[in-house]
Amino acid sequence: MNYIWAFIIGGIICVLSQILMDTTKMLPGRVMVTLVCTGAVLGAIGLYEPLLEFAGGGAAVPLTGFGYNLWKGIKEAVDSDGFIGLFRGGFKMAAVGTSSALIFSYIASWIFQPKMKR
């Protein structure tokens, strides 16, 4: 059942993003930023946490999950370190995701060459 809910919730997030892509003039970058911000806001008002427990990877993998993570990192850091945590928490929490994206892209660039779209 976990898998099914992950699929459904993750799918709904993707469908909503696709609707933004197809029906508005928003460029992909803005759609992505919107997702991250939405995740952070939903986290702040306490809605993303239960969604994450319910849907697991379905809510963690899309960019909204990244936004939620940023917010969570900042919150925890502020709680423990005070004001300075505002500048530390987000980066700390996002470090694994961001660095792995960089490192894996670099490895991929050793093996693959960009190709023309068909």
Partner 1 sequence: MQQMIGKQSIEFTNPPGILSAASVVGKKEGEGPLRDYFDVIYEDPTLGKDSWEEGESELVHQACLKAIEKSGLKKEEIRYVFAGDLLGQLIASTFGLKDLDIPLFGLYGACSTAGEGLALGAMTVAGGYADQVLTVASSHFGSAEKQFRFPLEYGNQRPLSATWTVTGSGAFVLSGKKCEVVIRGITTGTIVDYGIRDSMNMGAAMAPAAAAVIYQNLQDYRIEPGYYDRIITGDLGKVGKGILIKLLNDNGYDIMEQHMDCGIEIYDNQEQDTHSGGSGCGCSAVTLAGLILDKLKSREWNRVLFVPTGALLSTVSFNEGQSVPGIAHGIMIETRGV
Residues lying near partner 1 in the complex (CB under 8 A):
21-22, 25, 27-28, 114-118
Instruction: Closer to partner 1 by CB, 36 or 42: give it.
Output: 36
The neighbour count for residue 41, using CB atoms within 10 Å, is 15
* Least CB distance to partner 1 at residue 32 (A): 11
Instruction: Closer to partner 1 by CB, 45 or 117: give it.
Output: 117
Instruction: Closer to partner 1 by CB, 27 or 86: give it.
Output: 27
Cβ-based neighbours of 48, under 8 Å, separated by 6 or more? 39, 42, 59, 64, 65, 68
